[in-house]
Structure 1
């Protein structure tokens, strides 16, 4: 878990502990007021569990401090603005998150991205996107709105053809080999990638397995102009807006870009993988 996130959660926990102490009761007594197990009170106070909004409302009421609720909500919102739970974001399906991606793209001139194990969403075929959304919904056990999500993703791709935008992406060669569906779907996706090479708004670099690396790619991330970095983990999506984080991810992108191949070389590499798919 991120050190920044954990520090924020521990600070929130310390504030909860202070409110409980000011109420003049110990943890066991406070848990009884709430109807909770004492272990939950302990975890929240120690910053080992993220409270829900309902938890904070109950805590403020049990401490007889309803005036503190707005502050507690603000602290929680501060955590969730940066670290967004996938389960909460996708509670009603993937379409809403795709609409949010469209909005971010609309206000961005240059998007830089790294993908290590999959094709970037902006470059996906409908079938590849459909398979990706369906698998994600099953894995995260959220609502399946696959067709709506695919349509939204395809609308977002219209930005690739707008002359005032630039998309600079680095794709690890492993993502070209990763099979998430049948050979025909895989081949069509690779064909789509080859067709994007040379588009004047797109710079696509492929990082070969054989490349010498200053820093190995550890996970995917997207940089929106120089104002926002979005990083996806299994459980959360991080939205980082501080200058230090943006500079760090820019350095990671630049170092990996040194090892990528572009243009005709990138096309040849994709074509070699495409040939192996056809041979199966």
Structure 2
């Protein structure tokens, strides 16, 4: 299938160091499972502070991109760089420490821990005290716990989770649990946030609430985000640019209005003669 780019990449925002280099650069990403090609030479960039969306029918390769970005899959070809640092070949934990956080379509919360405790788990890679000192909860360990707890409380306030802070995650309403998943990712203090179908299974009211929180997170934190979502109204309302995939091939990249009316995208979703 012919690859089409409908517009030039959005200009990356200038960071504190004065560079306009995109925060994420993906070049010629190819992923195969035996004789099946999940991704075929996919390339894109994400600017600083940009909300970049990836769309496509089921099986198009959207989740495969996320799994390559956070180290779950290792592509056979291509490069991925975050702030100039190569990600391919690094372990998921190392990539998380470099500033890549992810939410999941299927909730990954620990049901018997409270909401606050689940959010604190997102701070784990930022903690420096050892096991023994942590058990004693004294001195440096106590100060560190207090500092990280304060950071988590800011996220609770940002996402309006105060009424649920001491509730076990397994008892949270579905929409609140999805918000808690977002909060745990934010607790990692990422520079790039991967959002895997954040409104999957939500009703209209919950979807609108989630959209509002994503806008607020972007405004307050200035994070670069990559959104994978089937709700096209949400994508078209929130995204700066959109990448459309079909059978692992990038068929179009551009502004939401361009993608929405692009013949190759309409064909991929609705079918038709190729």
- Scaled to the shorter chain, the TM-score interval is under 0.3
TM-score (structure 1 length as normaliser): 0.25
Higher relative helix content = 1
> Bigger relative contact order, structure 1 or 2, given CA contacts below 8 A and separation 6+?
2
Q: Which has the larger radius of gyration?
A: 1
| Structure with the largest fraction of strand | 2
In the superposition, the TM-score normalised over structure 2's length comes to 0.25
